[in-house]
Amino acid sequence: MKVAAGIDIGGTNSVFGIVDSGGNCINSGTIDTELYDDPEKFVSDVYQDICGLMEQLPAGSSLEGIGIGAPKGNYFNGCIEYASNLKWKGKIPLAGMFRKYVSVPVVLTNDANAAAVGEMLYGAAKGMKDFILITLGTGVGSGIVINGQLVYGHDGFAGELGHTIIDPEGRMCSCGRKGCLETYTSARGIKQTARELLETSNTESILRSVPPESISSRMIADAALQNDQLALKVFDFTGKMLGLKLSDAVAFSSPEAIILFGGVALAGDLILKPAKKYMEEYLLPVYRNKVKIIPSMLYAKNAAVLGAASLAWNEINGNMSDEL
Amino acid sequence: MKVAAGIDIGGTNSVFGIVDSGGNCINSGTIDTELYDDPEKFVSDVYQDICGLMEQLPAGSSLEGIGIGAPKGNYFNGCIEYASNLKWKGKIPLAGMFRKYVSVPVVLTNDANAAAVGEMLYGAAKGMKDFILITLGTGVGSGIVINGQLVYGHDGFAGELGHTIIDPEGRMCSCGRKGCLETYTSARGIKQTARELLETSNTESILRSVPPESISSRMIADAALQNDQLALKVFDFTGKMLGLKLSDAVAFSSPEAIILFGGVALAGDLILKPAKKYMEEYLLPVYRNKVKIIPSMLYAKNAAVLGAASLAWNEINGNMSDEL
């Protein structure tokens, strides 16, 4: 059996696993990223764990590649560059560190790009050549595919739609600027919208029984599902902000579909419907009723591992088709 | 000598010419588009004129391809689709009409895309694989190149950065929506900004001696060159609006450069400098001081013809390298 390894690196912990070419995650493991001051030691331990997973496979199985999704991962040089949520400072040549152990392709990029390739090979974007994946979670990221290729840009850092600007005088963003899409549509942004609406309106809401600082995005979604008018307003506003910037993104690359991924996207129609409604309203007429907004189809337990492994499969298959 | 024909179709008149593979426009002609109710007759006459231009070339010269820049030109099907500034309504299969006369490649897309390919082959983007061209004229258009390829999107209509939205409650746009970039940075947008500033401020200005409705964007540029404070404010505001949306565009595709093309771009540093200043201010830190803003280098008499012909050369060369 030919397999690839997928590794998703997070600030607290990292997950990794073995994935076959059909996109089935065979086995997996986790490791505490934050325990490692030395990335070389981290790579050594992850590699040992991957070897352990490989030993559980049928005899003759071969590791064909390694895909890594990591914060600030640069495809071109295989480095993690100045990731603020990792202990490792500066430029960390993580792909190169893995290449000391293996001679198969090692591919590194950021987690949103990995998810986009995962959707293209195994998920909601199968068969599509032009689509955009938006991750709505703690932050807001994106992976953009044009003409079947992931967009890296000239420096490897393309695709930061979470940091396109809605209002230059708007909410303070973690990036140091104001009014980024992320400040409105991340989990944190949604919570802020709820707190603001609770403060500035008199709308009845079951959320009023919770201390404002304890309200989670999950609570807001649960309230909205119970037809709580304030919670529904929160999602309407979130969808409006998202729809506005999606209309800009469509004017850029005219994709066939936009795929919503990540924790906030689990709210399903609560976010999909207003996002679609407002996107259509803001779209240039030539694009109207052409662009689907759909949920991720990688919501398996190991979506992040699958996305990372798909980077390796995409590279292997791409090189194979070049040779044919 | 091997040559390509370039045709730039405008609502009033169209220009065409013969261009060698080095990007030299050898000869050219014009035709009154608006005199033709029938696109078939237009194509027939343009083709005859091109044959006339070919006869002036050395014996043995061959026409290798035809490139056409046209409003709402769709690369995928070779049609002009519902162009509001042409007499021809609906979908006009213009490339197909030319193919009745020739068996060489005929390529059609919009004028901004043609200009982008022209810059890539012969102008300011030589050797670049990732850049964005913005046309600042009567309208605002764009041609986007990623990884050496023009971005067409899934329907052929990608790259309408002039219709990304600055303010959903902003100025009325010709597209029927509000607050598009075009309403602030087109020639018309600049004139409106000047009229608004004249009305709402007491700043002294030589423009006050002209009836507001007669102020042209050229007059504003001339005034700014004479250090007229109000005219300088107009360009500062225009650059701010442009810089804001360019920062969004950079977050999308992380280009090496942005090229300003068209009548308004002829104002040079008056628009380049504030656009650069504000773009840097609005950019996500990871992109700062990496992206050049440069003027077009196709400002020859026949820039539009050169851009259109480059579409043909790009197709011919692309197919040649596929065969190698």
pLDDT tens for residues B268-306?
999 999 999 999 999 999 999 999 999 999 866 688 899
Cβ-in-10-Å burial (0-12, 13-18, 19+) of A233 comes to middle
When pLDDT is averaged across residues B165-190 and rounded to a whole number, the result is 97
> What is the per-residue pLDDT for A318?
78
User: B147 and A144: CB-CB below 8 Å?
Assistant: no
pLDDT-derived band of residue B75, with 50, 70 and 90 as boundaries?
Answer: very high
pLDDT in tens, B133-165: 999 998 999 999 999 999 999 999 999 999 999
Could you tell me the CA-to-CA distances from A75 to A79, A95, A123, B129, B253 in Å, in that order?
A: 7, 9, 22, 16, 14
The closest CB to that of A165, out of B144, B168, B247, belongs to B247
Judge whether B164 is closer than 8 Å to chain A, CB to CB: yes
d(CA A28, CA A15): 7
Nearest CA distance, B160 vs chain A (angstrom): 5
- Amino acid in the structure at residue B148: G
| Phi/psi of residue A226, nearest 5 degrees | -95, 15
For the domain with range B2-120+300-323, which CATH number is right: 3.20.20.80, 3.40.50.880, 3.30.70.260, 3.30.420.40? 3.30.420.40
Q: Give CATH for domain A127-295.
A: 3.30.420.40
The closest CB to that of A175, out of B157, B244, B284, belongs to B284
The kind and range of the H/E element at A15 are strand A14-20
Q: Look at residue B324 and tell me whether its pLDDT is greater than 50.
A: no
> What is the per-residue pLDDT for B317?
85
> What is the per-residue pLDDT for A85?
87
Q: Mean pLDDT in chain A?
A: 95
Q: Look at residue B260 and tell me whether its pLDDT is greater than 70.
A: yes
When pLDDT is averaged across residues B182-191 and rounded to a whole number, the result is 97
3-state class of A204 per DSSP?
A: coil
When pLDDT is averaged across residues A217-235 and rounded to a whole number, the result is 97
Residues of chain B with CATH 3.30.420.40: 2-120+300-323, 126-295
List of chain B residues whose C-beta atoms are within 8 Å of the C-beta of residue A252:
144, 151, 158-159, 161, 164, 249, 252-253
List of chain B residues whose C-beta atoms are within 8 Å of the C-beta of residue A146:
146, 151, 153
Looking at residue A209, the DSSP 8-state letter turns out to be G
Judge whether A247 is closer than 8 Å to chain B, CB to CB: yes
- CA-nearest residue of chain A to B278? A168
The kind and range of the H/E element at B242 are helix B229-253
> What is the per-residue pLDDT for B323?
42
> What is the per-residue pLDDT for A303?
86
When pLDDT is averaged across residues B44-67 and rounded to a whole number, the result is 97
Cβ density class A80-92: b for 16+ within 10 Å, e for less: bbebeebebeeeb
> What is the per-residue pLDDT for A324?
40
| Phi/psi of residue B159, nearest 5 degrees | 85, 45
User: B176 and A249: CB-CB below 8 Å?
Assistant: no
Residues of chain A with CATH 3.30.420.40: 2-120+300-323, 127-295
d(CA A297, CA A133): 11
List of chain A residues whose C-beta atoms are within 8 Å of the C-beta of residue B177:
282, 284
For the domain with range B126-295, which CATH number is right: 3.40.1440.60, 3.30.420.40, 1.10.10.60, 3.10.180.10? 3.30.420.40
Judge whether B177 is closer than 8 Å to chain A, CB to CB: yes
Q: Which of B140, B150, B165 to mutate to test the interface with A (most CBs of A within 10 A)?
A: B165
> What is the per-residue pLDDT for B302?
81
Cβ-in-10-Å burial (0-12, 13-18, 19+) of A138 comes to middle
Nearest CA distance, B135 vs chain A (angstrom): 14
Judge whether B299 is closer than 8 Å to chain A, CB to CB: no
> What is the per-residue pLDDT for A294?
96
A112-126, A221-235, A287-301, B86-100: least confidently modelled range: A287-301
| Phi/psi of residue B181, nearest 5 degrees | -50, -40
**Distance from CA of residue A258 to its chain's centroid?**
13
When pLDDT is averaged across residues A80-94 and rounded to a whole number, the result is 93
User: A147 and B144: CB-CB below 8 Å?
Assistant: no
CB A73 within 8 A of CB B286: no
pLDDT cut 90: percent of chain B above it? 93
Higher-confidence residue: B317 or A117?
A117
pLDDT-derived band of residue A131, with 50, 70 and 90 as boundaries?
Answer: very high
> What is the per-residue pLDDT for A319?
60
CB A195 within 8 A of CB A208: no
User: A154 and B130: CB-CB below 8 Å?
Assistant: yes
User: B284 and A152: CB-CB below 8 Å?
Assistant: no
CB A234 within 8 A of CB A224: yes
Could you tell me the CA-to-CA distances from B47 to A266, B28, B34, B57, B60 in Å, in that order?
A: 57, 12, 17, 16, 19
Looking at residue B39, the DSSP 8-state letter turns out to be H
Looking at residue A264, the DSSP 8-state letter turns out to be G
When pLDDT is averaged across residues A20-36 and rounded to a whole number, the result is 95
Report the candidate in B324, B318, B322 with the shortest Cα–Cα distance to residue B67: B318
CB B234 within 8 A of CB B198: no
Residues in contact with A291: Cβ distance below 8 Å, sequence separation at least 6, in sequence order: A250, A254, A255, A256, A257, A258, A279, A283
d(CA A251, CA A254): 6
pLDDT-derived band of residue A173, with 50, 70 and 90 as boundaries?
Answer: very high
pLDDT in tens, A256-300: 999 999 989 989 999 999 999 999 999 999 999 999 999 999 866
**Tokens 């409106």 belong to residue:** B192
Q: Look at residue B320 and tell me whether its pLDDT is greater than 70.
A: no
Pull the structure tokens for residue A259.
């795929």
> What is the per-residue pLDDT for A118?
94
The closest CB to that of B249, out of A129, A151, A252, belongs to A252
Judge whether A280 is closer than 8 Å to chain B, CB to CB: no
Nearest CA distance, A260 vs chain B (angstrom): 17
Which residues, listed in sequence order, are joined to residue A143 by a DSSP beta bridge? A133
The closest CB to that of A252, out of B154, B165, B252, belongs to B252
- What does the DSSP assignment read for B92-147? E-HHHHHHTT--S-EEEE-HHHHHHHHHHHHSTTTT-SSEEEEEESSSEEEEEEET
Q: Mean pLDDT in chain B?
A: 95
> What is the per-residue pLDDT for B34?
94
pLDDT cut 90: percent of chain A above it? 93
Nearest CA distance, B238 vs chain A (angstrom): 15
